[in-house]
């Protein structure tokens, strides 16, 4: 058995493996290399890389390509409309991406999972965990599970039903697990987190496309038992709503600046009207260039003194071919100050979810807390490596201690997922009880009714309703949104509701208008994938006509 963890990220996918450490009860985790093709001297050759770009390309002929090979081809002329990236942002939405892709986000995620699992010769004996943002709704979790099931089917690996409910873990909790696994390997005085004090930890996980905040209270389950991960109780107190904001947003913002310079350097482009495919090609190329600029600036800042501005000479890494002519620019002098000015709307406080500081305030406000009440601030995720972001968050933290970063924050999530797999394999009973980020509502003819509150509750109230007309099928339309507890009236949460899908419930026979119906939503405590089910009774409270799993919900029948 090998314990694997996969970080299925918006911009990159990583796989890690966990194993028993040297000391008793310690667990190590390593990032596994992923075999990919890269372009060298005009030809593709295979090498191992410790991450895979979450990009897929669908050539005119042959099978789909993923990772570095897809990235290289995607920015070449005429290929971009056959490529797709950042599909994680589309999980939970059941539409097909336009031709020629013609696949759902879950289908494309399955390709990434297949590639990385094939690389480690994954088998049914192994244990696996895939990470999702803590704030993913049930729809998004369902799609992630479907992607994993598709990948296993492709690989011919059976996925036991008993495991399905426990395959997903939230990214911030995984990152915290990885940090704790490392910390617990150290002698007690050297540990960065003092769990004896039952600390409150704010995990700030900013990846390529998602900013995920989780507030966790850590406690020993039994202080008398060995102080290891199995004895640790994770009390997840607060989650932010799914926030589609991350490194890619920085890159898009900067790519806009690169575009302006690109046009200035090639004024003849002003005369061109671009096709949709050309628009995509320019976008892809400039976003890719912006990402490289971000990395270069970050590297240079690593050698600079605190507060010092650096300047580098930036050349567009890959010329953009339009109408069989290459365009680019060379040696543009860009300072780190320029860069920070460009992304200032994200780094300087603004009451907007697409800001690095505001979500902290809004999350803590839900529990009437401030940053002063938090004991540790753990910064993880791919974007956590970005020095200007670290500086902005450290300034907000206002303390010399308790601000935790790691040397490879972009690897923490995958490693933590592997650690989780290891712990699951060691004990069937192991699990971390994470609440759902959203409450669930059903639409009625005169508004909405709460089915299941956010948090860890396993059963919603059994609500009583009446049929609005005569019929033998009942249509239920499900929405997710804020908890009514955080507001004064149910109506005031209406703007927070997002449609999740509908289900047609066969009632068994025709019932008349006014017949009573009872509906209850349940989330099984042991099902960590956070996918509730629905129970429906009709006519009498004992006449259960249907139990519907969340997988049966659809956007439109």
Partner 1 sequence: MTHIRNVFNAGYAELHGLNADPNTVIKIQGLVKEMLETNEHRQRRIYQELTEEYQAFALPGVISATYLFIDQLGNSRTRDMLAGLMVTLCANNTAAQRLLLRSGIVDNPFEESRQVAFAAYQALPTLLLTDEDSAWLLKKARQFATTDRHSAVLLYELLLKQSRGYKEALDDCRTWFAGPYETSAPSALMNALLRYYPQEIEATLTRLFEAIEEKDTEAGKNIKREVRLPDLTALKPAIAAAAARLKQQETRNSRGSKVKAVEFFFEGAVADQIAQNADQIATWSDIVEQYKLELLSRYWWQALSTAVKTPTSGQSELKSYIEQALPRANDDFALWGYIQLMFLANPHHDKKSGGVKAWATQLLADLLVSNPDVYQQATKQYEGLNSGNVGGDGPKQGPGRQVGIKSSST
Binding site residues, partner 1, CB under 8 A: 89-90, 92-93, 95, 97-99, 241-245, 252, 255-256, 259, 263, 269-270, 272-276, 279-280, 282-283, 286, 353-354, 446-447, 477, 479, 481, 494-499, 502, 555-557
- For the chain, give the number of residues: 557
Task: Give the 3-state secondary structure of residue 109.
Answer: helix
Q: How far apart are CA 524 and CA 501, in angstroms?
A: 20
Give the start-end residues of each E strand in 211-254: 211-220, 232-239
**Class of residue 21 by CB neighbours under 10 A (exposed 0-12, middle 13-18, buried 19+):** middle
The least distance separating partner 1 from the CB of residue 452, rounded to whole angstroms, comes to: 18
For partner 1, the closer of residues 138 and 432 by Cβ is: 138
Distance CA 82, CA 109 (A): 16
Residue 479 CB, nearest distance to partner 1 (Å)? 8
Nearest distance from residue 136's CB to partner 1, in Å?
11
Nearer to partner 1 by Cβ, of 274 and 344: the residue is 274
Q: Kindly tell me which of 221 and 556 has the beta carbon lying closer to partner 1.
A: 556
The nearest distance, CB 139 to partner 1, in angstroms, is 8
Question: Least distance to partner 1 from the beta carbon of 555, Å?
Answer: 6
Whose Cβ is closer to partner 1: residue 255's or residue 378's? 255
d(C-alpha 420, C-alpha 551), whole Å:
25
Burial 378-393 (b: 16+ CB within 10 A, else e): bbbbbbbbbbbbbebb
- Residue with smaller CB distance to partner 1, 70 or 503: 503
Q: How far is the CB of 502 from partner 1 (least distance, A)?
A: 6
Half-sphere exposure of residue 247: CA atoms within 13 angstroms, side-chain side: 27
Ramachandran class of 73: left when φ > 0, alpha when ψ lies in -120 to 50, beta otherwise = alpha
Q: How far is CA 436 from CA 144, 290, 456, 477, 536, in A?
A: 16, 35, 7, 19, 22
Residue 430 or 494 having the CB closest to partner 1: 494
Characterize the bridge pairing of strands 3-8 and 43-49: unpaired
**What is the rounded (10 degree) CA torsion for 419, 424, 430, 431?**
70
- Please, which residues have CB within 8 angstroms of residue 89's CB and are 6 or more apart in sequence? 10, 105, 209, 244
Give the shortest CB-36-to-partner 1 separation in angstroms.
25
Comparing CA positions, the residue from 489, 414, 415 lying closest to residue 450 is 489
* Closest distance of CB 89 from partner 1, Å: 5
Of the pair 48, 102, the CB lying nearest partner 1 is at 102
Q: Which is nearer to partner 1, 164 or 357 (CB)?
A: 357
Contact criterion met (CB below 8 Å) for 237 and 216: yes
Of residues 32 and 442, the one with the C-beta less far from partner 1: 442
Widest CA span of the chain, in angstroms?
A: 76
- CB atoms closer than 10 angstroms to residue 490: 13
Q: How far is the CB of 545 from partner 1 (least distance, A)?
A: 22
Give me the least distance between CB of 302 and partner 1, in Å please. 29
Nearer to partner 1, 142 or 385 (CB): 142
Strand partners, 36: 47
CB of residue 135 to partner 1, shortest distance in Å? 9
Nearer CB in complex with partner 1: 236/480: 480
Our CB check for partner 1 shows the closer of 161 and 446 to be 446
**Least distance CB 483 / partner 1 (angstroms):** 14
CB of 243 to partner 1, least distance (A): 6
Using N-to-C axis directions, what is the helix angle for 412-426 and 171-183, rounded to 10°? 80
CB of 273 to partner 1, least distance (A): 4
Distance CA 474, CA 442 (A): 12
The span from the CA of 328 to the CA of 427, in Å, is 56
Supply 453's token pair. Answer: 């509150």
50 CB neighbour count, 10 Å cutoff:
17
Residue 35's Cβ-count burial label (10 Å; 0-12, 13-18, 19+) is: middle
Would you say 29 and 5 are in contact if contact means Cβ atoms under 8 Å apart?
yes
User: Which CB atom, from 318 or from 405, has the smaller least distance to partner 1?
Assistant: 318
Nearest CB to partner 1, comparing residues 245 and 386: 245
Distance in angstroms (rounded) separating the CA atoms of residues 83 and 64? 10
Distance CA 133, CA 246 (A): 12
Distances (CA, A) of 214 to 8, 14, 224: 18, 21, 28
């Amino acid at each position: 058995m090998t314990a694997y963890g996969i970080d299925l990220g918006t911009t990159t996918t990583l796989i890690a493996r966990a194993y028993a450490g040297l000391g008793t009860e310690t667990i190590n985790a390593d990032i596994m290399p992923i075999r990919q093709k890269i372009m060298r001297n005009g030809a593709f050759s295979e090498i191992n890389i410790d991450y895979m770009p979450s990009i897929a390309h669908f050539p005119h002929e042959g099978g789909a390509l993923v990772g570095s090979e897809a990235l290289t081809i995607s920015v070449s002329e005429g290929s971009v409309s056959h490529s797709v990236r950042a599909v994680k942002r589309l999980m939970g939405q059941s539409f097909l991406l336009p031709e020629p892709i013609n696949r759902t986000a879950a289908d494309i995620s399955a390709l990434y999972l297949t590639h990385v699992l094939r690389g480690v010769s994954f088998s049914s004996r192994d244990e696996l965990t895939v990470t999702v943002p803590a704030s993913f709704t049930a729809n998004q979790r369902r799609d992630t599970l479907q992607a994993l099931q598709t990948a296993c089917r492709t690989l011919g690996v059976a996925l036991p039903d008993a495991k399905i409910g426990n395959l997903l873990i939230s990214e911030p909790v995984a990152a915290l697990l990885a940090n704790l696994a490392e910390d617990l390997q150290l002698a007690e005085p050297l540990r960065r987190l003092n769990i004896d004090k039952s600390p409150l930890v704010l995990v700030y996980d900013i990846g390529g496309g998602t900013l995920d905040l989780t507030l966790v209270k850590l406690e020993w389950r039994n202080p008398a038992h060995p102080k290891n991960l199995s004895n640790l109780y994770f009390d997840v107190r607060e989650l932010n709503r799914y926030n589609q904001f991350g490194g890619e947003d920085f890159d898009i913002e900067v790519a806009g600046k690169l575009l302006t310079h690109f046009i200035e350097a090639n004024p003849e482009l002003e005369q061109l009207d671009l096709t949709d495919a050309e628009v995509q090609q320019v976008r892809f190329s400039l976003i890719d260039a912006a990402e490289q600029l971000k990395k270069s600036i970050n590297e240079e800042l690593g050698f600079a003194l605190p507060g010092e501005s650096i300047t580098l000479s930036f050349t567009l890494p890959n010329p953009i071919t339009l109408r069989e002519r290459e365009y680019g620019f060379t040696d543009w002098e860009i300072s780190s100050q320029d860069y920070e000015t460009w992304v200032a709307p994200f780094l300087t406080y603004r009451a907007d979810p697409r800001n690095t500081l505001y979500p902290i305030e809004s999350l803590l406000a839900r529990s009437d807390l401030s940053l002063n009440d938090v004991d540790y601030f753990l910064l993880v995720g791919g974007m956590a490596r970005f020095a200007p972001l670290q500086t902005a968050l450290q300034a907000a933290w206002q303390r010399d201690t308790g601000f935790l970063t790691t040397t490879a924050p972009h690897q923490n999530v995958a490693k933590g997922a592997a650690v989780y797999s290891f712990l699951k394999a060691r004990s069937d009973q192991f699990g971390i009880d994470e609440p759902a980020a959203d409450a669930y509502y059903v639409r009625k003819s005169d508004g909405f009714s709460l089915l299941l509150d956010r948090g860890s509750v396993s059963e919603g109230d059994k609500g009583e309703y009446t049929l609005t007309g005569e019929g033998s099928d009942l249509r239920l339309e499900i929405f997710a949104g804020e908890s009514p507890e955080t507001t004064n009236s149910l109506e005031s949460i209406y703007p927070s509701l997002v449609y999740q899908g509908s289900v047609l419930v066969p009632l068994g026979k025709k019932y008349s208008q006014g017949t009573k119906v009872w509906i209850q939503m349940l989330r099984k405590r042991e099902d960590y994938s956070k996918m509730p089910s629905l129970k429906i009774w009709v006519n009498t409270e004992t006449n259960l006509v249907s139990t519907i799993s969340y997988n049966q919900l659809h956007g439109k029948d």
